[in-house]
Structure 1
Amino acid sequence: MLHLTQRRTLTLQAPETPGGHAHVSAASGLVRAGKWIHVVADDSLYLATFPAEGEAPGRLLRLFPGELPLEPKARKALKPDLEALCLLGGLPFAPHGALLAVPSGSTPVRMKGALMPLAADGSLGGEVREVDFTSLYAQLTRELGPLNVEGAAVAGARLRLLNRGNGDVGADAVVDLDAGRVLRTLEAGEALKPDVVRTVRRWELGKAGNVRLSFTDAAPLPDGRVVFTAAAEDTRDAYADGAVMGSAVGVLAPDGSPLFLDGVDAKVKLEGVDARVEGGRIHLLLVADADDPAVAAPLFETVLEGLP
């Protein structure tokens, strides 16, 4: 079992909405770039950025126009549900890389992502572009049934999406997109189409207690492997929240097959992961979602031992 060490909570300089809380609560995607840690929350119109070291409050960058209501049910119905954040290279308009925020696709209003160029130090450094996932997600829904994309990572020539199969009819799946075609589409400012899909494969990750573990995020390793998080949430579908029975961390091989899976020692819903190799070990940063807007999301760290 993996031991999680809490590094900080995700406090903000100011709340997103007047009268709201000055912290990220529903943290759902995580990327460390240079001196900064970037986090998307599934109930927000903003990206939150934090110093990689220390506990200084983060600041917000607007991704989409408008305002979300504070009342939880109304906010849930209108939120863009950004569930994954991944680092992209190879974009002429973003020579230092870019972040792609990926929506879940679990309702018709959750089909819009965002592309954000980075500066040389890893901070945000350019105009935000909206990305339309509607056509791509329509094709994936035809293949998988109810969609709930929660992880995204570049693995070699593929942009790997992880679909979370929580609920009675959802399917955990690894969806490989042609990364080169995706980048060309993003560079042209066009909507993502079904022609970027290469393979769709279903997986079963086991259970925590009597509840099925399902993918919640992904992070790339330099050799083409992908670290993933998974959570066991007792819910009937991809929309409703439920009791969390536990979370786990795993690794996918470059071909997308599972190599490793281990539980964590805290009953939290892990929703975001960043991975890097240092000193021959895989070091992870992870964020959790408490499904409570009054609770600040924690940032954890851990190390995967025994994996080259």
Structure 2
Amino acid sequence: MIPLSRARAARPAGPRVRGHSGRVLISVAGVRALRFDDGTPVTAASAVAPLGDGWLVAQDDSTVAAWLRGGSVAALRLLPPVEGLDRFSEQAGTKRLKPDLEVACPAEVDGEPAVLLLGSGATDRRTRGVLVRLDGGVPVVRAGELAPLYAQVAGVLEVAADQLNLEGASRHGGTVRWFNRGNLAAGVRPGSVDVPLAALVDAVLGRADAAAVPVARPRVYDLGEVAGVGLAVTDAIALPDGRLLLSAAAEDTPNAVDDGPVVASALALVDGDEVLAVGRVPEVEGRVAKVEGLALRGVADGVVHLLAVVDDDDATRPATALELHVELG
């Protein structure tokens, strides 16, 4: 567990999301600005999953992840530098080079716990998978190219390659449900496919052909909109009762690569193919908290306890980790 400073009790946020009448009540119970042990900021936090006695946080603008353990935040290399760079930005003209790791999902390698990280697929630089496991408490990292699998996912979802933006995944036993963010402004609804976890792990490790990984059960979701901007999936987790919680952002952008103004962040409760309810995430310090990564801490007395990480799309600000309490109707 990572210590989070106690936030002033935020008022639970009701949905106010056009297209849904249910309620998901969300409160922010803790906030922590994330900095590495040397003081440099963790930026563009895009995904989070448990690793050992802590949490692994992916940065979508970097080849390096943050390993949160107690009060420590250690840097963990996931991929080699790209053209000599480990960090990428639009301002520096290097955004096109970034691997854009957007998914972190619990997995196993040869029966041992691991974290599976996946690129968004939005460009040909963003089609790699990474596996992180511990050997005697020391992280071991393997990476593999998965471009043929991404092409297959785009085909199954009937999404053009330049609109593929795989930003979230939830684990369901031996299956990974992999979510395409979607963009209503471009006519692409949020969607998902199911992929066998073991086959995906083998492809990353080079034990199997990425083109041979089965892709099945395409789904699309109606998450509604806020202020005329459609909500799009940024991550997903499975709940103990089999339902899903999706994080979503209403970001006004024309495509799968460029950032845009974010008018709201939300959580959606999903059962099978049906979106049951959507609730807005409260603002933090007067700003929309663009939740891009979710991890389940537990469920107690009917309240879901989540660890969420926030990407402000601002390299000058450290990313934040939020403790969210969610009451589901």
Q: TM-score, normalised by structure 2?
A: 0.81
Aligned partners of 1:241, 1:41: CA distance in 2, in Å?
Answer: 15
Aligned partners of 2:321, 2:123: CA distance in 1, in Å?
Answer: 28
- Does 1:294 pair with 2:316? yes
Cα deviation per residue 1:105-148 (whole Å; 9 max; x = unaligned)? 0011111121111358xx6x443111222011112223222200
Letter in 1 for 2:298: V
Shift of 1:162: 0.9
Aligned partners of 2:149, 2:28: CA distance in 1, in Å?
Answer: 36
Aligned partners of 1:71, 1:144: CA distance in 2, in Å?
Answer: 26
Letter in 1 for 2:220: R
Residue in 2 that maps onto 1:107: 123
- Select 1:257's aligned residue among 274, 292, 306: 274
Aligned partners of 1:101, 1:305: CA distance in 2, in Å?
Answer: 29
Q: Compared with structure 1, are the counterparts of its residues 191 and 6 closer, same or farther at alpha carbon in structure 2 (3 Å cutoff)?
A: farther
Q: Compared with structure 1, are the counterparts of its residues 261 and 71 closer, same or farther at alpha carbon in structure 2 (3 Å cutoff)?
A: closer
**Match runs of 1:43-54 below 5 Å:** 43-51=61-69, 53=70
Q: Compared with structure 1, are the counterparts of its residues 135 and 32 closer, same or farther at alpha carbon in structure 2 (3 Å cutoff)?
A: same
Residue in 1 that maps onto 2:327: 305
Larger RCO of the pair (alpha carbons < 8 Å, separation 6+): 2
Contact 1:131-1:192 within 8 A present in 2 as well: no
- Number of residue-to-residue matches in the alignment: 291
Q: Compared with structure 1, are the counterparts of its residues 184 and 239 closer, same or farther at alpha carbon in structure 2 (3 Å cutoff)?
A: closer
Contact 1:132-1:191 within 8 A present in 2 as well: no
Letter in 2 for 1:62: R
Q: Compared with structure 1, are the counterparts of its residues 70 and 42 closer, same or farther at alpha carbon in structure 2 (3 Å cutoff)?
A: closer
Residue in 1 that maps onto 2:181: 164
Letter in 2 for 1:132: E
Contact 1:228-1:249 within 8 A present in 2 as well: yes
Aligned partners of 1:261, 1:297: CA distance in 2, in Å?
Answer: 24
Q: Compared with structure 1, are the counterparts of its residues 202 and 300 closer, same or farther at alpha carbon in structure 2 (3 Å cutoff)?
A: same
Shift of 1:294: 0.5
Contact 1:156-1:224 within 8 A present in 2 as well: no
Q: Compared with structure 1, are the counterparts of its residues 131 and 7 closer, same or farther at alpha carbon in structure 2 (3 Å cutoff)?
A: same
Cα deviation per residue 1:250-270 (whole Å; 9 max; x = unaligned)? 2332x3433332111112211
Aligned partners of 1:175, 1:71: CA distance in 2, in Å?
Answer: 30
Aligned partners of 2:328, 2:274: CA distance in 1, in Å?
Answer: 18
- Select 1:285's aligned residue among 307, 314, 318: 307
- Does 1:87 pair with 2:103? no
Residue in 1 that maps onto 2:29: 5
Q: Once structures 1 and 2 are overlaid, which stretch shifts more, 238-247 or 125-134?
A: 125-134
- For structure 1, the residue ranges without an aligned partner over 5 or more in a row are 16-21
Contact 1:170-1:237 within 8 A present in 2 as well: no
**Match runs of 1:8-87 below 5 Å:** 8-14=32-38, 22-51=40-69, 53=70, 56-66=71-81, 67-68=85-86, 72-73=90-91, 74-87=93-106
- Does 1:96 pair with 2:96? no
Contact 1:185-1:192 within 8 A present in 2 as well: yes
Letter in 1 for 2:38: A
Aligned partners of 1:193, 1:257: CA distance in 2, in Å?
Answer: 30
Q: Compared with structure 1, are the counterparts of its residues 138 and 283 closer, same or farther at alpha carbon in structure 2 (3 Å cutoff)?
A: same
Aligned partners of 1:223, 1:183: CA distance in 2, in Å?
Answer: 26
Contact 1:99-1:118 within 8 A present in 2 as well: no
- For structure 2, the residue ranges without an aligned partner over 5 or more in a row are 1-12, 14-25
What secondary structure does 1:181 align onto? helix
Shift of 1:223: 3.8
What secondary structure does 2:94 align onto? helix
Contact 2:88-2:95 within 8 A present in 1 as well: no
Contact 2:63-2:99 within 8 A present in 1 as well: yes
Residue in 2 that maps onto 1:18: none
What secondary structure does 1:139 align onto? helix
Residue in 2 that maps onto 1:139: 152
Contact 1:86-1:153 within 8 A present in 2 as well: yes
Aligned partners of 1:46, 1:191: CA distance in 2, in Å?
Answer: 26
Letter in 1 for 2:79: F
**Match runs of 1:216-235 below 5 Å:** 216-235=234-253
Aligned partners of 1:155, 1:284: CA distance in 2, in Å?
Answer: 18
Residue in 1 that maps onto 2:5: none
Shift of 1:70: 5.6
Shift of 1:279: 2.2
Residue in 1 that maps onto 2:264: 246
Shift of 1:186: 4.5
Q: Say what the alpha-carbon RMSD is for the aligned residues.
A: 2.2
